[in-house]
Amino acid sequence: MPIKKGEKYIQILDAAVKEFAENGYHRTQVARIAKEAGVADGTIYLYFESKEDILVSLFTEKMGDFVDKLKQKLANVNGFREELRTLITHHLEVLGANPAQAMVTQIELRQIDPWINQGISGPLKSYFKVIEEVIRSGQDEGLVCKSLDVRLARKMLFGALDEVVTCWVMTDKKYELVSLADPIFEILESAFCKNK
């Protein structure tokens, strides 16, 4: 059973992000990840079963951390509008500060097999749940129509953020991603809120 913690585990994941971003998932060899991490090839297999396991673990770790930090931020704000702004800003700040992670998340994770898709679905669902909770809080405050389909609204919100990050990655990150937080907030706020 692979070890899923410790300094070397994190070193390997960080090396994998860099290698996957630079070379693509399919062209990256485990040996390159090991070299970048400064560990022997065989050490990788103490922590991961395969390259696929590295990718799934990477996404699980990064997304788990992303969601945990988002929940902490949301606990310190009040009201739907501030929650929505916080969610949007957090999404763009985290990926904007980590271009290699953004590349892996936006490009590499979409070119993979069903086994990997199944492995990353859990962490993604936890993020979707947080987004839905934010939208429901707007409904509870009377700012968002009760009849609004929360799942569809979540898909729209996530889809908008996802597309903005993908465009940023594809245009060689020529601008500050987080600079789009306010305009996106204004668009989504006016789309979701009954009274502005």
Please report, as a single letter, which amino acid is at residue 145.
Answer: C
Mean pLDDT of the chain: 92
- Interior CA angle at 80 toward 78 and 133, to 5°? 105
CA–CA separation, 33 vs 20, rounded Å? 9
Instruction: Residue 62: give its domain's CATH number.
Output: 1.10.357.10
CA–CA separation, 40 vs 81, rounded Å? 49
Mean pLDDT lowest among 82-91, 108-117, 156-165: 108-117
Confidence grade of residue 157 (pLDDT, cut at 50, 70, 90): very high
Residue 144: what are its φ and ψ, rounded to 5°?
-115, 135
User: Which residue(s) pair with 144 in the sheet?
Assistant: 193
What residue numbers bound the domain in which 179 lies? 52-192
Identify the pLDDT of residue 1: 62
CA 15 to chain centre: 18
Please say if the pLDDT value at position 73 is more than 60. yes
Please say if the pLDDT value at position 86 is more than 90. yes
Q: Is residue 26 part of a domain?
A: no
How many domains does the structure of the chain reveal? 1
Q: Is residue 5 part of a domain?
A: no
Identify the pLDDT of residue 6: 87
**Structure tokens belonging to residue 42:** 């065989």
Identify the pLDDT of residue 173: 78
Please say if the pLDDT value at position 39 is more than 80. yes
